[in-house]
Amino acid sequence: MKMAMGPRPSATPKVVEPLTRRKAWKALQAHYEGVRGLHLRGLFAEDPKRGERLTAEAAGIFLDYSKNRITDETVKLLIQLAEESGLRAQIDAMFRGDKINFTENRAVLHVALRAPKGTSILADCENVVPQVHAVLDKMTQFSNRVRSGEWKGHTGKRLRNVINIGIGGSDLGPVMAYEALKHYSDRTMTFRFVSNVDSTDFAEAVRDLDAAETLFIISSKTFTTLETMTNAYSARRWSLAGLGGNEESVAKHFVAVSTNAAEVAKFGIDTANMFGFWDWVGGRYSMDSAIGLSTMLAIGPENFRAMLDGFHQMDEHFRTAPFEQNLPVLMGLLSIWYNDFFSAQTVAVLPYEQYLKRFPAYLQQLTMESNGKHVTIDGADVTYATGPIYWGEPGTNGQHSFYQLIHQGTRLIPCDFIAFVEPLNPLGRQHDMLLANVFAQTEALAFGKTPEQVKAEGTPDSLVPHRVFEGNRPSNTILAARLTPETVGKLVALYEHSVFTQGAIWQINSFDQWGVELGKALAQRIIPELESDGEPSLSHDSSTNSLIRRYRKTRETS
Ligand code: F6P
C-alpha cells in the first residue's frame, strides 16, 4: 500500500448536501413504506436461494445477512446512499492521513498501527509506519524479557503479575483482548485490569498479590485522566510499601503507555520505560497500539503480530472491496437501515463464544463514543437518529435472560450473532449444542411461530396469543473458523469500519468525544466541595446541592 499524497489541511468541513435531501435517502424512505410490511417468511419463500445469495465473505469472515428485512432493491439503494455520501472518498481521506477529526485537528490513522513494515502511510507529510514498527519492536523486546523472566523485579524475583491501569480505550480494548485470547496466554502469569476510581477495583486487583512479583502498566493516552492517575498513585504507594519504600523499585515495577512523555516523567517513570503512540490514534481505536502491551505480554509478540495482521486484512478489504461485497460497509448500511428507517434504537451483539464475553462492552465505547453525536460536521443539528445503543452478552446466557424481549417484546432489536466453527475447548457434544442454539435463535427470530402452528400443537385457544412468535426479527450471522489472534483483529476492524461507514453517512465526526468533558469538569469542581473541612458554599441546582450536603452529613455520622 502506498499513499503518495500528503494530508489535506484541516478546515471545518462543509455538508455539501444534507443527508435527508439525498436522492437515495428519499428513495429509501419511499422504499421503506413499500417493504416495512413484508415478512421474512415471505421473502425466503419466494426466493429459495436467498440464504445463499445474501451473504459475503472476506478474510475468512463469513457474513450471512439474508435474515434482514431487506430486498435486493434495499441493498441497491443503501449502496447508492453510500456512494452519494462519498463514502469511498471518505475512506481514502482516512487512509491518506487527512485530518478528518477536524474538531481536534487530527488525522485518524489506527489503520497505520497494523500496516506491514515497508508500507507507507503519511501523517503531516511523514511516513508513520516506521515509527509504529519501532514501538512494536520495543514492545517485543520488553515482552520477551518479562515473559522469559530476564526482566526481574526490585528484589530479584520474576514478575508474574501484570496489572494494566487505564480507563475507556486504555482499558476496554486490553481487557477484551486478554479475555478473547486467554486460550493463547501464558498461564503462569496473572493479568488484571484496574479502571474504576472506585477504590474497590484497585483493592480487589492487588489483594492476593506480592508487590515483588507485580508489574504495573500505566496506560493513558493523555496521562492526565483522573481515574487512571489516581489509581496509578495508589499503585505506586502499594508497590513501594511492599518493597520497603525504595524509590528505585519504581523503574522495575512500572512502565507507561502514553503520548505524553512530560507527564510520564513527572509521575516518576523513566521515559526509557515508556511505550509511545500518537495523537492520530483515538483512545477507542488504540488496542492494537502500545496500549496493547498487556495483550502482548499475555499472548506473546508473535500472536500479537498475528492479531495485527488480521486487522490489516480487514483494513485492506474495507479499503478496496466493492461496497456490494464489503463486510463493514454492508453491516454499517444495515445499521442505518434499522436505525433511521425502522426507528430501531439498539443493536444486540451476541457472541456464542465464551472468550468474547467482554466484546459487547468493548463495542459500547467503540460505537457509542464514536457515533453518539447530535450535530453534523458543520455544526447543524442532525434531523435523524445517529448512533444506536450497542449491548449484548455471550450466548447462550442471554437466551435465559433478555431474549424473551427480542422474540416477543414490542421493540425491534437487530442482532449480530457471532460464532466459530471449531471450539477451543472441545468437550463432548457441547460445541454442536452451542452452534445449534445460534442457528435456532436466528431461525426463530426470523420465522417465528404462527397462531396456526401453535394451535396445531394442541395449545388451548386462550394461550395461543401468548405462545405466538411474530418472527420478522432481523439478524446477521458472523461465522469464522476459529477464534485466533488473527480473527480477533479481523472482528474488531470489521466493527471499527462499520462505525466509520455509519458516521460518514450521518455526516458526523466519529472521532471526537466532547460529550465526556462536562461531567469530568463538574466532578473536578465537586471534589473540593466534598473534601473541604468547613461547610462549602454550594451554587449548584437544589438537587445537586442537597445530595452533596446529604453525603457530607451522612459521612460524618457513619
Ligand atoms: O472517556 C473519554 C476518554 O477520553 C476516552 O476516549 C479514552 O479512551 C479515555 O477517556 C481514557 O483516556 P486516556 O487514555 O487519555 O487516559
Instruction: Give me the pLDDT at residue 10, please.
Output: 56
Residue 168 falls in which region: left (phi positive, over 0), alpha (psi -120 to 50) or beta: left
Residue-wise DSSP of 242-290: HTTT-GGGHHHHEEEEES-HHHHHHHT--GGGEEE--TTS-GGG-TTSG
Distance CA 357, CA 94 (A): 30
Distance CA 534, CA 536 (A): 6
- Of 342, 330, 280, give the one whose Cα is nearest residue 501: 330
Q: Which of 176, 222, 281 to mutate to test the pocket of ligand 1 (most atoms within 8 A of CB)?
A: 222
Give the Cβ contact number of residue 364 at 10 Å. Answer: 17
Three-state helix/strand/coil letters over 394-441: CCCHHHHCCHHHHHHCCCCCCEEEEEECCCCCCCCCHHHHHHHHHHHH
- The grid coordinates listed for 206 are 492487588
β-bridge partners, 126: 123
- Of 226, 168, 239, 221, give the one whose Cα is nearest residue 197: 226
First-to-last C-alpha distance (Å) of the chain = 64
Catalytic annotation present for 182:
no
Catalytic annotation present for 400:
yes
Instruction: Give me the pLDDT at residue 201, please.
Output: 98
- The grid coordinates listed for 466 are 401468548
Peptide bond into 225 cis (omega under 30): no
- pTM for the structure as a whole: 0.97
Distance CA 7, CA 94 (A): 9
CB 61 within 8 A of CB 494: yes
Q: From the candidates 26, 520, 535, 553, give the one annotated as an active-site residue.
A: 520
Alpha carbon of residue 511 to chain centroid: 13
pLDDT, block means (10 residues), the chain with 558 residues: 46 87 98 98 98 98 98 98 98 97 97 98 96 98 98 98 98 98 98 98 98 98 96 98 96 97 94 96 98 98 98 98 98 98 98 98 98 97 98 96 98 98 98 98 98 98 98 98 98 98 98 97 97 97 98 94
Give the Cβ contact number of residue 15 at 10 Å. Answer: 13
Q: From the candidates 117, 266, 374, 400, give the one annotated as an active-site residue.
A: 400
Distance CA 163, CA 156 (A): 19
Distance CA 395, CA 398 (A): 5
Distance CA 31, CA 72 (A): 11
Instruction: Give me the pLDDT at residue 14, please.
Output: 86
Instruction: Give me the pLDDT at residue 512, please.
Output: 97
Give the Cβ contact number of residue 425 at 10 Å. Answer: 9
Instruction: Give me the pLDDT at residue 6, please.
Output: 47
β-bridge partners, 163: 192, 216
β-bridge partners, 348: 391, 415
**Does any ligand 1 atom lie closer than 6 A to the CB of residue 195?**
no
How far, in Å, is the centroid of ligand 1 from the Cα of 113?
18
**Does any ligand 1 atom lie closer than 6 A to the CB of residue 226?**
no
Provide the angle, in degrees to the nearest 10, between the axes of the packed helices 485-506 and 327-336: 50
Residue written as grid cell 520488553: 142
Instruction: Give me the pLDDT at residue 11, please.
Output: 64
Residue-wise DSSP of 479-503: EES---HHHHHHHHHHHHHHHHHHH
Q: From the candidates 369, 393, 486, 529, give the one annotated as an active-site residue.
A: 369
How far, in Å, is the centroid of ligand 1 from the Cα of 284?
8
- Of 281, 228, 200, give the one whose Cα is nearest residue 520: 228
Catalytic annotation present for 183:
no
Which of the 8 DSSP states describes residue 11? -
